[in-house]
Amino acid sequence: MLSPCMGMGKMPKNSFGRITFFKKSGARLYIPARIIDDSSFPFKDGEIVKIEIGNSSLKLKAVEWWEMLDWKTMPETYEKLPNEIKQKIESAQLI
């Protein structure tokens, strides 16, 4: 049986999945098809996501290109960035 919000194009607030651990490579999180098939699901197949851990939960977020780089090892490159990007990097405490 579908929840009332399923037929109206709204993504359900929650569902159940499964996490599987692998000794050498980490873990894989299964997200049910009814969640990922929803038009409001924010990620594409193969997309890199940011994972935040807190309060007994995981948050998946879209990641910005500048979040994936180690700015402490590239000071010359950092200096050439626009101020807007520098401010985001500093706010995220990546430098």
* % of the chain surpassing 70 pLDDT: 86
Give 19's DSSP letter.
Answer: E
Residues 4 and 36 occupy one common structural domain: yes
Q: Is the pLDDT of residue 36 over 70?
A: yes
Q: How many Cα atoms are found within 13 Å in the side-chain-facing hemisphere of 27?
A: 7
DSSP 25-40: TEEEEE--HHHHTSTT
Q: Is the pLDDT of residue 56 over 70?
A: yes
Output the pTM of the full model.
Answer: 0.63
Give the span between the Cα atoms of 74 and 56, in whole angstroms.
34
Average confidence score pLDDT of the chain: 86
pLDDT band per the 50, 70, 90 thresholds, residue 11:
low
Residues 59 and 70 occupy one common structural domain: no
Residues 26 and 55 occupy one common structural domain: yes
Residues 68 and 58 occupy one common structural domain: no
User: Which is nearest to 64 in space by CA: 82, 83, 48?
Assistant: 48
Average pLDDT, stretch 68-76?
94
Residues 86 and 45 occupy one common structural domain: no
Q: Which residues of 44-62 are buried (b: 16+ CB within 10 A; e: fewer)?
A: eeeeeeeeeeeeeeeeeee
Task: State the residue range of the domain holding 78.
Answer: 64-95
The whole-number pLDDT of residue 81 equals 95
Per residue in 17-34, pLDDT (tens digit) is 999 999 999 999 999 998
Q: How many domains does the chain have?
A: 2
